[in-house]
Amino acid sequence: MLLLALVTLTANAQRIHLTGTKIGDPIVNGGNPKSPVYVPIVDLDDHTLYFTTSCVGDTLQLVQNDVVVYSIVISDDEVELPASLEGTFEIRIIEDEWLFYGEIGM
């Protein structure tokens, strides 16, 4: 099910471009998917992430220098990141056996 959220973003908002990859053993996880996998649509506005496609229940990680510096289970279509996070991070969204990742800067 595709859920859409209507959010007004500022001019400084940026769309996060994510790439998806299947993690784990594809044979154990049921092989290749029969239907398309939808890459989440996420925008960053200051220190707030807005999920146009719901990621509730997925794990969000921010990684810097190969170290996970922030990790939560997403509970809403809007996530406020700590203001203390500054710099460039790899963003990871883990949904079952799928990993979606990209780069964000704050």
Closest CA to 94 of 43, 59, 42: 59
Token representation of residue 42: 């996420």
Break the chain into its structural domains and give their ranges.
Answer: 15-95
Q: What is the tens place of the pLDDT at every residue in 93-105?
A: 999 889 999 999 9
* pLDDT of the residue at 2: 46
Q: Kindly report, residue by residue over 49-75, the tens digit of the pLDDT.
A: 999 999 999 999 999 999 999 999 999
| Cβ pair 48, 80 in contact under 8 A | yes
As a three-state string, the secondary structure of 16-67 is: ECCEEEECCCCCCCCCCCCCCCCCCCEEEECCEEEECCCCCCCEEEEEECCE
Would you say residue 3 has pLDDT above 50? no
**pTM for the full predicted model:** 0.82
**pLDDT for residue 23:** 87
16-52 pLDDT, tens digit each: 999 999 887 655 555 565 667 789 999 999 999 999 9
Can you tell me the distance from the alpha carbon of 48 to that of 38, in angstroms, rounded to the nearest whole number? 22
d(CA 42, CA 71) in angstroms, rounded, equals: 16
